[in-house]
Amino acid sequence: MISNVLMFRRANVCYDTLNIFTDKVASCLNNRGIKVDFINLDSKDVEGEIYRVINKRYDACLTFNSVGQHGFKVNGQFLLDYMKVPFYNYIVDHPMRHYKHLCVPLKDYHVFCLDMGHEEYISKHHPNIKSVHTLPLGGWVNEGKGLKPIGDRRYDVVMTGSYYSLSDIEDTILKGDKQFIDLAIATINYMLDNRSVSNEEALEAVLDANSIEVDDSAFAMYLNKIDRSNHYVNAYVREEVVRYIIDSGASLHLFGDGWDKLNVDDWKNTVIHKGVPYTETADIYADAKVVLNTMPWFKKGLHDRVPTAMLNGAVALTDTTEYIDNFFRTEGDDAELLTFDIANPGEAVRKLNLLLSDTALLEGISESGRLKALNDLTWESRVDQMIKIFEENKINT
């Protein structure tokens, strides 16, 4: 049985979403009778925070995006090794961005990730990690506001997420390590020409084409060095899809920073809003008919915008992944969400027009999607899966 869990907190990381996730998981654990202690890294006395818990026994230590993994040592040992507690790093980006953290030689190191491809990548390139588990984030819903009928909702189409200038990202790449600039550009071009491939598959193809041989460890370092290539292709496809929707004349509402900097001749029926805090996203989705999403180049995973849309009764329209193909119904009268090919943005326009012209279809997918999300995509469901993994690893230790 799992009875005590230790977690790290640090504010103002990724719009404070990591603390929001941390607190939600802690609440779910508490509701299941599991006690949670925190190390607050924003404290003026971090050492005091550590020594407050150092002699307690914990079944697991959990953090998001490597927060707290800063090499704290006690008597020459890593803090968590000294405490003999299994460490679970819940990585919500591609693991290439956490290269140095994944290389830390903790004795009992485990990872949760959002994409089955990321799981395969970590298992191959970071053999020091004892176990890796694909566990997409739960969706978010703000309780007590009721469910608005989809026909009465304010927004036809909503997209949340910031705009990033491609030229700014390119400038950053060109100012990077000169040894890797050409490799980053070639990898970008390969991904844009072959949009079903992952970051690591693209790099492998580019290395092969240039007769460059590296072992698994060096490959992970190479991918980390060109991680801005991921940022570039994400920004590219998001902008491309948005331009297609704008040109279609659909009533699109963009919530996020920077969209006013996008060069568009005629915005037609598009409205730009400022970015909002993470938890307010759920309220926006609860007043939307369709939530448009592009994945952050997840090819076998799921971003939490999708379950949040579904939990709030909106129809999710997203580029597809292997995870979506395996776990959701995406066609027919009982579809739970709709998908499009990221290589064919026109397909997103066609499916959006279909949804907005057929109220019965919109209502049917909305209800099927919400029921699916309530059953499988809440944080409560994810924490139950997490506890099961904690218990299985505890038995196998």
The reported pLDDT for the residue numbered 70 is 66
Residue 110, sorted as left (phi over 0), alpha (psi -120 to 50) or beta, turns out to be beta
Nearest to 365 by CA among 393, 391, 330, 397: 330
> Position of tokens 């690893």?
393
Torsion of CA 187, 189, 192, 198, to 10 degrees: -10
Q: What is the pTM (predicted TM-score) of this model?
A: 0.96
Whose CA is closest to 60, among 36, 96, 39?
Answer: 36
Please give the pLDDT value at position 314.
Answer: 98
Catalogue all structural domains in the chain, each as residue range(s) with its CATH number.
Answer: 4-138+380-396 (3.40.50.2300), 150-165+231-377 (3.40.50.2000), 169-224 (no CATH)
Contact 221, 99 (CB under 8 A): yes
* Spans of the chain below 70 pLDDT: 13-15, 70-71
Which pLDDT score, from 0 to 100, does residue 86 have?
Answer: 97
Residue 55 pLDDT: 95
Model pLDDT, residue 348: 98
pLDDT at residue 12, rounded to an integer: 73
From 268, 286, 266, select the one nearest 276 (Cα to Cα).
286
Residue type, 322: E
List C-alpha distances in Å: 383 to 137, 224, 306: 10, 30, 18
Q: How many CA atoms lie within 13 Å of 333's alpha carbon, on the beta-carbon side?
A: 1
Task: Give pLDDT, residue 142.
Answer: 87
Q: What is the dihedral of CA 51, 52, 56, 59, to 10 degrees?
A: -100
Q: Is beta strand 35-40 parallel, antiparallel or unpaired with respect to 4-9?
A: parallel
